[in-house]
Amino acid sequence: MTGADPIAQARAEIVRHGRSLFERGLATGSSGNLSILLDDGSMLLTPTDASLGGLEPDRIAHVTAEGAHVSGDLPSKEAFLHRAIYAARPHARGVVHLHATHSAAVSCMDGLDASDCLPPLTAYQVMKIGRLPLIPYHPPGDRSLAGRIAAIAVDHPAVLLANHGPIVAGASLRQAMNAIEELEESAKLFLLLRGVPTRPLDAGQIADLETRFGRANDR
C-alpha cells in the first residue's frame, strides 16, 4: 500500500513469520529470534524471552545502528549475533536463529566436519545453504561469539552453533526463512539416513548447480 510505514510493515512481517515458525513446531517456548535490517541501518528484532507465537507488532524491539534501544520491548540478548552477521554480509536484510529440533540435534553430534557439517544430500540444500560450518560451543549471550560468526558469515549465509542451533541470513527475512527451513529439513534427512548407504551430490553436480543458479553465498 502506497505511503505505508516501512517500520510498521517490517514489524508485521516479523510477527507473521514468528507465528508461522511457532505453529509449525520450528520454535518452542521463548526460543529463537528474528530480525530485519532497515535502510537507515537500524534493526527490528524480536524481544528477549518472547515466544515467537505470541509476538505483538508494537513490542518488536527497534534499535539504532549503534545499538541504542528506540522503541518496543528490550531486544533479544542475542541481538549482537544479528549485528555481527549484518556487518559481515552487507546485502543481508533478514536473519533467523532457531533451536529447531533436527538442526539442533546435529549441532550436538561428535565427529562432524567443522568446515561443512552436513553432506550435500539434495540440490536445494546446495542452492539455499551451501557449505554449513560449525562454530564451537559458546554459552548463550557470550559476546566473544560475535567475532567468530562475523569471520565465517562473510563466506557463508548459514552457520551452525555447536550444542545450540542454526543462524541464517538472507537478502530478505523471507529468504532467510526459506533457507533455515531447508536447513532443518536437510538435518532431518541426514539423521534419518544415519547408518544407511547414501549418495551425496558430487563436486561436478554441485558445480553445475552453482553455474545454473549461483552460489548460496551470493544470495
**Per-residue pLDDT tens over the stretch 150-160:** 999 999 999 99
Active site annotation includes 78: yes
pLDDT tens by residue, 74-112: 999 999 999 999 999 999 999 999 999 999 999 999 999
Which three cell numbers mark 165? Answer: 542451533
DSSP state of 108: T
Whether residue 2 has pLDDT greater than 70: no
Catalytic annotation present for 124: yes
Tell me the whole-structure pTM to 2 decimals. 0.95
| pLDDT at 66 (0 to 100) | 87
Phi/psi at 123 (nearest 5 deg)? -60, -40
* 6-218: CATH class: alpha beta
Is residue 1 scored above 50 in pLDDT?
A: no
**DSSP 3-state of 137:** coil
Per-residue model confidence as pLDDT tens digits over 157-203: 999 999 999 999 999 999 999 999 999 999 999 999 999 999 999 99
CB atoms under 10 Å from CB of 201, counted, come to 17
| Domain coordinates in residue numbering, the chain | 6-218
* Catalytic one of 13, 56, 86, 124: 124
In the set 13, 78, 181, 182, the catalytic residue is 78
